[in-house]
Structure 1
Amino acid sequence: MLDAGELCQGAFEYFRLSHNSPLSILISHLHGDHVYGLAPLIESLQLAGRKTPIEVVGPLGLEEIIPLRNIAKANFTIRVIELSSPEGVFTIDDKEGIRAVYVQSPHSHVSYSYIIETKEKIRLNGEKLQREGIPGRLRRRLIEKGYVRFRGRQYQLEDFISEKIPGLKIAYSGDTLPNARFGAKSYRADLLIHESTFAFQDREGREEVAHSSASEAAYLARLAKVNVLVLTHFSTRYTDLSLLLEEARLIFARSILAQKGLIIEIFVKRPRLIRVIFPPPST
């Protein structure tokens, strides 16, 4: 979960997620619209009978906003990780090969952007493995360790690779001014979720506000050569968001607006296939 705004617990019901689904919550910064849903979410999971641990990652001070009563009452472990360095990497799921890269972002408070990555998929040459007589039970070990010993001989992984497919890569800006460092780490991301608080034309006189415009988000998406840009975090001054979308698409055509119920499916294959499913129009 990327940030925990108010009523975020409703996403579990909306998308029909199990209350015991694996869960890591990455908090960009400690402004209310990004964390006020954290305590209610933990309480909702407790009431639903969750048993599996959750992990919450964010800036220093994160632990103070999770009431002790929530931790004491929970039937599951709540692990809190506070980030203190400007950038780095941490593991989300070692078994599944999921990690997150973080980089500090220019905002009015200490804030982080995240890039979530999965390890690449390796496809082996089955015919060559069969010719060498390497049994199926050793093939996973070959991928995981890079070599296997069989019948007194050592076999190297690189001798049996038929294809490498890049892993999943999702970049999330949080609240930020345009940040070249984040853009560099987002290079060729499948999905870039970037704040677009203003239209560029409305930036004048708001230079002190540490947010990005739709065109700035689109320009970063183009430079980073991402596949799809999702614009989010819109100022309430806009009742019609088409202005922001049109502004972004002039620079980066594969831009869409974040909205409740939006589903983006990414198929890790060659060529990449990304399917966007928009929610039905509200009546």
Structure 2
Amino acid sequence: MKCGKHTKFILTPVSEILKDCVNATKGLSMGVETYPLCDYIMQTTFLKMTGASEQKLKCILWEIATNDFEFRYDFLKPQTSYGECSNLKDKNKIFKEITAQIKKLSPDTDYIKNIFSDEIKTEIKKKATENIIGVFEKKVLVSWQEKQFIFYKSNFSKVFDNSHFCNYSCDKKQNENISLIENCIDFEHIVYEHRNRCAHNLKSYQENLPNLSNLVKKEYDYENYFFRFSILVLLDEIFMKIYREYLNLLEMNI
């Protein structure tokens, strides 16, 4: 596999940050006296994951620019922007660019279709859900947010289904396309808005608790850290998979 300067970082799962968080809190008791640490630790872990995700996508763009001079020309134009790689629009744009690079490198018309087969999607989903449950189960972090964790275990399958991400399509003009995630995974509301609140300390001038109209909404139960972590891991696994395919094709075309 062809390795660039950022390859090791790009292919290091953001789920490792969750494992570091669990290891760092092993010495804490499950008593109520440790609960004040909950928001600090959860928020810090969440921001580390979003930050790593965004930096990974920037590194992927730079690696593509290193290998494709035509892309580099457009990439360095002031009017060409991929933003901070934080919202879903930015992520979709980068995902489509990697897909376009793969099409350039592979003459096989089925290559794109086979990258995210049902078996691969099932494995990605497992890493984003069941593996996360295994990391947190019976740990102090769950004792702080037990209600949210129980809801997550009972409902993650409604959000994370094979049909909700990386769907392949091909129109009449033979334009192949793979979607990143579907609307049923509400990245903007569950992850991105909370990312902005934490990163810019927006809660400092806002009321500490949501109003009652938000609390009674069914969607509010999905605004918990376990769903946020899972969505970030899901996206990370998708980008790592397609980036590995890109690297393999680069090596084959040397």
For the aligned pair, the TM-score class normalised by the smaller chain equals under 0.3
From the two aligned structures, give the one with the greater strand fraction: 1
From the two aligned structures, give the one with the greater helix fraction: 2
**Larger RCO (CA under 8 A, 6+ residues apart):** 2
